[in-house]
Structure 1
Amino acid sequence: MLRASKILAALSVSLLLMVTTACAAPTAAPPASTKTAPVTSVTPKDTTSAPIPAGKPVAGGQFNKFFPTNSGSYKSVFAQEKTGFAQAKLQNAGKDVAVISISDLANNPTAAKKYQASTKKVAGYPAVEVGKTQSAILVGSRYQVTVQSTTLTQGDREAWLQKFNLSGLAQLK
């Protein structure tokens, strides 16, 4: 009986850590690698590393119009919305294939530091890879756009980043 309770306690702690880690904001993890695959040539739109404007973050609902539109069997299902953040599940034929999000870094300028050393660009914006499952770009020196998936390749994630309305997002104040 004592052994069973120890196993149950260990499983509970493991589950708690897994859930806490999975729910953490995408900006919390440092980039695991700077190795990148070639990206198709695009006209740069935001090549400066200007400081992030301080101030009040944008309401999360204002981000929804910048997410990729539903196309074919792909659909964005909004999952979370709060001040400075919006997140959706990207589904293909009803199955989750990725988590996509936009974060306002206005109150977290240190989160943008990882983009300052980036030599990679996606759609003209500074890009980083976080581990093997997450691709992100910094738009307008303020908004982090992220695609996280265990099934999509890096190229697929970068293609989905380009499906956001990035030029519209860059204009958001």
Structure 2
Amino acid sequence: MLFQLRQFLTVLLLSTLLFVSSCATKAPSRFDQAQQESTQRGASAVVSESATGGQFNRFFPPSSDGYERVYSQEKKGFAEAKLKQDGKEVAVMAISDVLNNPSAMTKFKSSSQKIDGYPSVEQGKTGTAVLVGKRFQVKVLSRDPSFTQSDRQAWLEKFNLDGLAKLN
């Protein structure tokens, strides 16, 4: 009889615990809140008019002068290639469609520098970018201290910027 009472109380206690814990409301995480705010604004990570990443590949400079170009990422509105020298990554080159991030264009408004006629800006100590056709940001980021600002500018000049402008 005592064993049956213990068994009954154990089942009752476990059932109550399960019922109480399943009915408890969980506080929303910071990610849930950000998701809710984003969807309320109607924000979309990538706009439908964005060019596909594969369309950008033909505008990247080819491997040359001991440097190897290795495509590393491609998605709608973005393409990226690593620049390697002797097997070591020295820079990353990227093309992105600013339709997905219109605020990216603001940094070019006050630019006095140009590369092949397109506005250019320095981004920190390791990045150089140009705005092509008021639509595409082309960027080279140093990954090694030996890859300097002048190297970044030289590689930006190797892109087919005029061809990219026609993609607009």
Equivalent residue letter for 2:163: G
Matches within 5 A, 1:9-88: 56-88=49-81
1:140, 1:160 → 2: CA distance? 19
The equivalent of 2:150 in structure 1 is 155
What displacement does 1:55 show?
6.1
Identity of matched residues, %:
56
Aligned residues: 120
* DSSP 3-state at the match of 2:69: strand
Matches within 5 A, 1:118-157: 118-149=111-142, 150-151=144-145, 152-157=147-152
1:75, 1:96 → 2: CA distance? 9
* DSSP 3-state at the match of 1:138: strand
CA offsets per residue over residues 90-118 of structure 1, 9 Å max, x none?
01122111010000011321110100111
What displacement does 1:57 show?
0.6
Question: TM-score under structure 2 normalisation?
Answer: 0.68
1:92 aligns with 2:85: yes
1:164 aligns with 2:159: yes
CA separation of 1:55 and 1:83: change in aligned 2, threshold 3 A = closer
Higher RCO, 1 vs 2 (CA within 8 Å, ≥6 residues apart): 1
* DSSP 3-state at the match of 2:158: coil
Which protein has the bigger helix share?
2
* DSSP 3-state at the match of 1:106: helix
Moved over 4 A (4+): none
CA offsets per residue over residues 105-149 of structure 1, 9 Å max, x none?
113211101001111111111000011000000011110000000
Question: TM-score under structure 1 normalisation?
Answer: 0.66
* DSSP 3-state at the match of 2:105: helix
Q: Which consecutive unaligned segments of at least 5 residues does structure 1 have? A: 1-53
Contact 1:55/1:106 (<8 A) preserved: no
CA offsets per residue over residues 12-47 of structure 1, 9 Å max, x none?
xxxxxxxxxxxxxxxxxxxxxxxxxxxxxxxxxxxx
* DSSP 3-state at the match of 1:129: strand
Root-mean-square deviation (CA), in Å? 1.3
* DSSP 3-state at the match of 1:69: coil
